[in-house]
Structure 1
Amino acid sequence: MGAESVPRREVVTGRPRPGNGTTLRLESRPVPPESDVAVSRLMHRQLRAALTVTGLLVLPLGLLPLLLRLAPLTGMAPRVPLAVWFVLGVAPYPALLAIGAWYVRRAERNETGLAARAPVERP
Structure 2
Amino acid sequence: MTNPVDPQPAPVPRRPQPRVRVVLAEAARGGTGAERTRAELTQQTQVGEALVRGLVRAQLALALRLSLVVAIGLGGLPLLFAIAPEVGTAKLFGINLPWLLLGVAAFPFLVAVGWAYVRLAERNEQDFTDVVQRPER
User: Could you say which TM-score interval applies, normalised by the shorter chain?
Assistant: 0.5 to 0.7
Task: Provide the TM-score with structure 1 as the length reference.
Answer: 0.60
Aligned residues: 86
* Alpha-carbon distance between aligned partners in 2 of 1:30 and 1:66, rounded to the nearest angstrom: 51
Can you give the 5+ residue segments of structure 1 that lack an aligned partner in the other structure?
A: 1-28, 75-79
Find the aligned partners of 2:122 and 2:62 in 1 and give their Cα distance: 11
Structure 2 length-normalised TM: 0.54
Structure 2 gap ranges (5+): 1-41
SS across alignment from 2:61: helix
Residue pair 1:35, 1:118 contacting (<8 A) in 2 also: no
Tell me the SS of whatever aligns to 1:57: helix
Contact 2:62 2:117 in 1 (8 A): yes
RMSD value over aligned CA atoms?
2.2
Q: Is the radius of gyration larger for structure 1 or structure 2? A: 2
Of 113, 124, 128, the residue aligned with 1:114 is 128
Report the counterpart of residue 44 of structure 2 in structure 1: 31
Equivalent residue letter for 1:85: W
- Structure 2 residue 75 is the aligned partner of structure 1 residue 62: yes
Residue by residue, what CA displacement relative to the aligned partner does 1:47-102 show, whole Å, maximum 9, x if unpaired?
1101111100101211111222333126xxxxx95322211212222221111111
Percent identity of equivalent pairs: 34
